[in-house]
Chain A
Amino acid sequence: MTAKEKRKLKSNLTTLATWLVSIIYAFPILYMFITSIKPEEKVAPPRWDFTPTLENYAVVFSDELFTHLFNSVIITLITVLLAILLSLPAAYSIVFGNLKKAESYYNWFITTTLLPAVAVVIPIYLAFNYVGVLDTRLGLILLYTGAGVPLMIWMVKTFFEDVPYEIIEAADIDGCSRFTSFFKIVLPLIKGGIFSTALLVFITTWNEFFFAVNMTYSKSSTLSVYLNRFLTQQGFFWAKMSAAATVVVIIPIILGFFTQKTLVKGLTVGAVKG
């Protein structure tokens, strides 16, 4: 065997090992998916001689699931929209607004993400109860927007910083208003970044559990809470449970693929600069 052949063999073996590691790591999710297409009687104890079926999905797609799916979609979309509307102007202001303490405002937003949810849950629960927004979609939207805005500002700021200030100055000199220059010049440059950041806010909102479980009990619950209830009610029907879980996680997983890069960029931009 020549040295070249040896190197190639080693590379192929490493690739094989990498694939094995990946599959083992994702096994719980893959197994969940496999279980969801098994007939119920082949699930516990697990048997592998089965013909794939969609019957579990047919059972799981009930009115109840659609109610909660609708809740999750509405709550998440409005949250993302509100977060964009509040964060973009704020991030613009931090980067181009010539603020005296731009950096400390920015840091303040980041520190609010440190605050654990338990630190605010009691007064919010009492206030929501008092105002009557407990177990409503509005209540969750307000909370999630409050959590989404700092996250969004944090990530989006790095994209604004990539826009050279000279471009905006040039537009100023040409008599372009800041409003027009934002939509005509800045926005087209960073729309990719904004889109991925919006996906990130979408995922965190979609997956949120703590407020969802404490602030809603039935009619406004999101999928994460519904799924937990589904388990307590149908805990012995693992195939149906897996089908429901697959429906719930498929959206964030797909979106996650598209947003990895932004997530890493937003988080590590400080690390790169040192």
Chain B
Amino acid sequence: MQLSKNLMQTNRKAKKNLSRYLILPAIIFVAIITQIPFIMTIIISFLKWNVKRPDMPITFAGFDNYIYIFSDSNFYRVLLNSFIQAFVSLALCTVLGFLLALLFNRSFKGIYFARSFIIVPYFVMESVVGIIWKTLILSPSFGINQVVANFFGAEPIAFFSSGLSLVTIIILIVWQWTPFLFMILLAGLQNLSEDVIESARIDGAGGLSMIYYIKVPMIKNYFIVGMMFGLINILKVFGLVFVTTQGGPGVSSANLPYYVYRTAFYDWQMGRSSAIAVITVVITLIIIQSFFNLMKRRQKGGNVA
């Protein structure tokens, strides 16, 4: 009896040992595609390398690329754009997503269809979002923009001029990413227990106070998750900028990903572009880490109160 039990245990252990190696192919593959190239990017960022000029040798440049970037006024503009773009969009997406979630947190006939209408933009590719907004909707000559302007007897708004291009990019990001926050926050609201809502109602909470004191704190975790992933994705936005403004006029609507692309594939400066990429990653990690810490502190503070 004892013997067979031991035998069974070794057998089971062997099985466990075997399944432990099943993770290896995925790790190796992902490392080759993501980690090794990133290390290469760091190395290239210390080189002077113009790929379109094979006659010019690839030379070690030390910190030259970084010094160049940090003394480039365009870079600071792009950096500021990225911050504004990320945080303004995220704030708007969250507020709008939550309001929509409140509106949809009930049941009526056809709710599934109505909800799908809100979610659609999230599943549409960035290049299409950019193209239809640029032409059909916001074009000052034949877009809905012009129809609306005519209706009010005003001049159509020049959405792609230097003063407004960043705002326009933000509008497009908000349109595409609000559905994401909406889905997650709605899941949170639907997960709230009826009892809590009911007892709060008996205690006299209703309308706004119910939302502010009961619902928001209770789905705090959903806010954190939604905002974190929203932020990660909004920091990566590229296609929208690429197909609408090309970062312009000038660099007025360029963000960091677009600037990396332009330095690499317009100026062919591989070293400089890699340096901007490295800075982008560092900034991304700092933003996400500090955002995460902030949220965590908030969460703890909330629990005490």
Contact = CB atoms under 8 A, between A and B. Distances in A.
Q: Is chain B a partner of chain A in the same complex?
A: yes
Interface of A: 11, 14-15, 17-19, 21-23, 25-26, 28-29, 31-32, 35, 43-46, 86-87, 89-90, 92-94, 96-99, 105, 108-109, 112-127, 142-143, 145-147, 149-150, 153, 169, 172-173, 177-178, 203, 206-207, 209-210, 213-214, 224-225, 227-228, 231, 235, 238, 241-242, 245, 248-249, 252-253, 255-257, 260, 263-265, 267-268, 270-272, 274
A120 B37 contact: yes
B142 A249 contact: no
A143 B129 CA distance: 23
A123 B132 contact: no
Contacts of A257: 116
Given A146-B34, A238-B135, A18 B119 contact: no
Given A14-B106, A149-B26, A206-B125, A121 B136 contact: no
B40 A123 contact: yes
B108 A93 contact: no
28 contacts: A17-B103, A22-B115, A28-B133, A92-B22, A98-B19, A105-B23, A114-B284, A116-B256, A116-B277, A121-B264, A121-B277, A122-B273, A125-B264, A127-B37, A146-B33, A147-B33, A210-B257, A210-B261, A224-B125, A241-B135, A245-B128, A255-B123, A264-B184, A264-B187, A268-B187, A268-B222, A268-B225, A271-B224
5 closest A-B pairs by beta carbon, nearest first, are: A146-B33, A44-B142, A256-B123, A123-B40, A90-B26
A116 B19 CA distance: 31
A93 B29 contact: no
The A interface is mostly helix, strand or loop, or mixed, namely helix
Interface residues of B, number: 97
Given A118-B256, A260-B119, 10 more contacts: A11-B108, A22-B117, A29-B121, A31-B137, A90-B22, A173-B8, A207-B125, A209-B125, A257-B116, A265-B187
Given A98-B20, A105-B23, A228-B243, A122 B270 contact: yes
Given A29-B121, A120-B38, A172 B23 contact: no
Contacts of B274: 122-123
A112 B30 contact: yes
Interface of B: 8, 11-12, 15-16, 18-23, 25-27, 29-30, 32-38, 40-41, 44, 51, 100, 103-104, 106, 108-111, 114-129, 131-133, 135-137, 141-142, 144, 146-147, 175, 183-184, 187-188, 191, 221-222, 224-226, 229, 232, 235-236, 238-239, 242-243, 256-257, 260-261, 264-265, 270, 273-274, 277-278, 280-281, 284-285, 288
Contact of A124 (B37, B117, B118, B288): B37
